């Protein structure tokens, strides 16, 4: 118990192996509320950007803290990106689109703010997130993903990565250009997003 109390008093990180143990603790009285302090700092910062009610949107003050941490510790960007992707994947499965939108917005902000050589590690998770949204059956998520891809394509990386393949994105955007959605207004939005996605794809080669 003394160890747990000590961890609450210091803002330090523990190895990720502790995270699986902490996640299994469901007793609200356990550790005197110290379980959250055992989680790696980057995970706590990511968790804090999500409001209780997704309609409230991204918690801006906490997003600023996450951005500052990412700029101060760029070596954590890959873990932050992967964790955001995992959270969004679970929310897509649970159809909690409000939280998915928040996760994508956070990804967008980090992509713009953390323009450095280590960004390559973050981009892999970012593109996985975009692909996940494009694969969903929800047109709004597909449009959201396309908008994020366009922003990404317009960012010049310090160290371009030529090993990435964009075949999926080109194919998906092409199919969106020929959308036959039964709602004419939404059909036009999907087609327009597809065109913008294809245009952005040309910037990635």
For the stretch 175-189, pLDDT in tens is 999 999 999 999 999
Angstrom CA distances, 114 to 17, 78, 169, stand at: 27, 11, 23
Please, which pLDDT band fits residue 198 given cuts at 50, 70 and 90? very high
Predicted local distance difference test score (pLDDT) of residue 11: 40
29 pLDDT exceeds 60? no
CATH class held by domain 41-159 = mainly alpha
63 pLDDT exceeds 50? yes
Predicted local distance difference test score (pLDDT) of residue 132: 97
Predicted local distance difference test score (pLDDT) of residue 18: 45
Predicted local distance difference test score (pLDDT) of residue 5: 39
Angstrom CA distances, 76 to 14, 35, 80, 107, 157, stand at: 14, 21, 6, 14, 18
Residue 36 CB partners (closer than 8 Å, separation 6+): 22, 44
Domain regions of the chain by residue span:
1-39, 41-159
Predicted local distance difference test score (pLDDT) of residue 180: 95
Query: Which tops the pLDDT comparison, 10 or 56?
Result: 56
Predicted local distance difference test score (pLDDT) of residue 114: 81
Determine the angle formed by the axes of helices 167-177 and 139-153, rounding to 10 degrees.
Answer: 130
Would the CA dihedral through 120, 121, 122, 128 be positive or negative? positive
């Amino acid at each position: 118990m003394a160890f747990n109390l000590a961890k609450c008093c210091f803002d330090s990180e523990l190895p990720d192996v502790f995270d699986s143990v902490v996640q299994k603790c469901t007793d609200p009285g356990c550790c005197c509320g110290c379980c959250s302090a055992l989680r790696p700092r980057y995970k706590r910062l990511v968790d804090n950007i999500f409001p209780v009610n997704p309609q409230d949107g991204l918690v801006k003050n906490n997003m600023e803290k996450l951005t500052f941490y990412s700029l101060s510790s760029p070596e954590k960007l890959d873990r932050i990106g992967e964790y955001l992707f995992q959270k969004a994947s679970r929310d897509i499965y649970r159809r909690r689109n409000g939280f998915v939108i928040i996760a994508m917005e956070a990804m967008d902000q980090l992509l713009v703010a953390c323009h450095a050589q280590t960004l390559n590690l973050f981009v892999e998770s970012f593109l996985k997130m975009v692909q996940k949204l494009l694969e969903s059956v929800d047109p709004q998520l597909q449009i959201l993903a396309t908008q994020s891809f366009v922003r990404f394509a317009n960012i010049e990386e310090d160290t371009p990565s030529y090993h990435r393949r964009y075949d999926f994105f080109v194919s998906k955007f092409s199919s969106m250009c020929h959308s036959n959605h039964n709602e004419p207004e939404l059909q036009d939005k999907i087609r327009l997003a597809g065109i913008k996605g294809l245009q952005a794809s040309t910037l990635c080669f």
